[in-house]
Amino acid sequence: MRSHLSLDRRGVSPVVGAVLMLAILAALAVILGTLAVGIDSPNDPSPQYGYETDHVADGSGNTNDRPYVTITLTQGRIEPGEDFYVVDSDGNLIRWDQVWTTSGPLTAGDYAHIDGYGSDSALNPACEGEVYRMVHRPDDSQGSVLIEAEITTPAVGNATSHC
């Protein structure tokens, strides 16, 4: 014969198991939540700006018909500071303010004129295959590229004598 006590004990066991399972799941949720809150997320969004490049292969409007590239900021704002450079495909560089039309923050409408002569003579001439990059380089590392202009068309007319 079975007593009433043994029947009651079997009924309590599944309830205790379910309560323990819920307690474990709740503790796990608290631990994972604490870890997720502790993970650092970026505070500042990436800068948003737009730009256009224009390669003038015949050099019209430039001294001695030298081919050139114009990079125009079309939207947004860039605050270059002292660690920003224009770098050509051979790694030659000049400070950004040697080719941009402003020495302050760059805003929509500001542009750079790059031809590899005059104030930017440290750079290669603006000929087919050349790549110019505006780079933030706070030390001797490669740095971060903000803008890139690649020349994919050959010089034409009188401009060919400069390439």
Residues 102, 157 within the same domain:
yes
The neighbour count for residue 42, using CB atoms within 10 Å, is 6
What is the rounded CA–CA span in Å between residue 66 and residue 125? Answer: 8
Residues 96, 145 within the same domain:
yes
pTM above 0.85, yes or no: no
Closest CA to 61 of 10, 113, 119, 135: 113
Read off the pLDDT of residues 21-51 as tens digits, 9 standing for 90 and up.
Answer: 888 888 888 887 777 776 655 555 555 788 9
Read off the pLDDT of residues 62-117 as tens digits, 9 standing for 90 and up.
Answer: 989 999 999 999 998 888 877 888 999 999 999 888 888 888 888 899 999 999 99
Residues 74, 138 within the same domain:
yes
Residues 27, 84 within the same domain:
no
9: pLDDT confidence band, cut at 50, 70 and 90? low
Q: Which helix (H) or strand (E) holds 8?
A: helix 4-38
Residues 34, 57 within the same domain:
no
Residue 82 pLDDT: 79
- Write out the two tokens for 5: 């006590």
Full residue range of the structural domain in which residue 10 is found = 1-41
- Write out the two tokens for 150: 């690649």
Residues 121, 98 within the same domain:
yes
Residues 25, 97 within the same domain:
no
The neighbour count for residue 9, using CB atoms within 10 Å, is 10
Residues 73, 140 within the same domain:
yes
